[in-house]
Amino acid sequence: MNKLFYIFFCALLITSCKKDKTPLAETIPAHAPDNFELLTTVPAPYSLGFLRVGPNGQLIWSVDEIWRSSDLGETWYQVNSPGGSWAAAVVSANTFFVGSQNLYRTTDNGVNYTQVLSGSTSGNTYDVEYLGGNTILVSCDRIKKSTDLGATWTDVYNQDLDSATVQEMQFINSNCGYVMTTPDINSLLDVLLLKTVNGGNSWEPSLIVPNSICVDFHFASSNVGYALIVNSNNVITLYKTTNGGQNWITIPFTGIFPGMIHFYNETEGYVATNGNLYLTKDGGYNWEQLAITWDNLVDPLNSIVHYKGKVFLAFYSGKLYRSTL
């Protein structure tokens, strides 16, 4: 009897020890964080701001310089840069893509780069998405796809968009993704979002709003997404879908003119506007202003990303805020 009790006690003790050693990074808050701290570990070089997160949480931060982190921003190290880059996609610890006019690939963590696309023939690189395996998609003056990590490319969307370009992309999984169309100066569009369900091989209109511009968009899941739309009268409206872009409803904004949107889950998310950050907890109907503020003219917010419950706010000057539990 005593021996059985001893074995049971030891098993209980071992289970408790395992539970206590769960890493903090795996404690994912159920709700969108509303507190942020300035990371003092960031070297804060000049002209950073475009932050991207890789499939295993590796961070890459780039414009004039390229910095990487593999521990959610606790420590950073600099790697070589092929030049100015506002688009980036992380494939693995050693392989990533960066680009602006041209697109480059490195397989040795920035020691050497290979140019895989030329801006003179494809246009500026606006965004890069890694879909897993060897598959990469790039938005430029068209959408291009590679299934061999940039060795060869195929145009998968190259239609007339009324003097527009395809820019920001977001993939929910390896098959389903969206891309935002952006007009030239002093022009408006009808087709604002395109959707693919086959890994970018073909694209169809998802959001059509006559004579308007999509300011930003973000999908929280394969079904629920949001888009900030401004019309010819400079009235901004939040569009929301709950069925993967088949139908959209409108949610009016009052007193807020946001420029960036990012959702933590299907109902809780952020909009950034003119130096302030707002949080909604009911799918965009009501917003509360958070404590963090910034000078939008001097130091604009360039990126909002999140990974395993950590939300990052990356600014042009090189300041980086991370959410706290």
- pLDDT in the model for residue 150: 95
- pLDDT in the model for residue 18: 32
Tokens of 201: 């091989």
Give tens-digit pLDDT for 154-201: 999 886 554 557 788 999 999 999 998 876 655 566 878 999 999 999
Any domain includes 182:
yes
Any domain includes 205:
yes
- pLDDT in the model for residue 34: 94
Any domain includes 307:
no
Domain ranges, residue 275: 159-293
Any domain includes 34:
no
Q: How many CB atoms lie within 10 A of CB 299?
A: 15
Give tens-digit pLDDT for 25-57: 446 788 999 999 988 776 655 555 578 888 888
Any domain includes 75:
no
**Distance (Å, rounded) from C-alpha 33 to C-alpha 321?**
12
Contacts of 154 (CB under 8 A, 6+ apart): 144, 145, 146
Confidence of residue 62 (pLDDT cuts 50, 70, 90): confident
Any domain includes 279:
yes
180: Cα separation from own chain's centroid: 13
Tokens of 244: 């993967």
Any domain includes 272:
yes
- pLDDT in the model for residue 7: 31
Confidence of residue 238 (pLDDT cuts 50, 70, 90): very high
> 27 and 325 in contact (C-beta within 8 Å)?
yes
Tokens of 25: 């990074």
Any domain includes 249:
yes
Work out how many domains the chain is built from and give that number.
Answer: 1
Secondary structure string (H, E, C) spanning the chain? CHHHHHHHHHHHHHHHHHHHCCCHHHCCCCCCCCCEEECCCCCCCCCCCEEEECCCCCEEEECCCEEEECCCCCCCEEECCCCCCCEEEECCCCCEEEECCCEEEECCCCCCCEEEECHHHHCCCCEEEEEECCEEEEECCCEEEECCCCCCCEEEECCCCCCEEEEEEEECCCCCEEEEEEECCCCCEEEEEEEECCCCCCCEEEEEEEEEEEEEEEECCCCCEEEEEEECCCCEEEEEECCCCCCCEEEECCCCCCCEEEECCCCCEEEEECCEEEEECCCCCCCEEEEEECCCCCCCEEEEEEECCEEEEEECCCCEEEECC
> What is this structure's pTM?
0.85
Mean model confidence pLDDT for the chain: 82
- pLDDT in the model for residue 24: 35
Give tens-digit pLDDT for 303-320: 899 998 899 998 877 788
**Distance (Å, rounded) from C-alpha 250 to C-alpha 241?**
9
Query: Domain with 185 in it: what CATH number?
Result: 2.120.10.10
Q: Percentage of residues in the chain with pLDDT exceeding 90?
A: 45
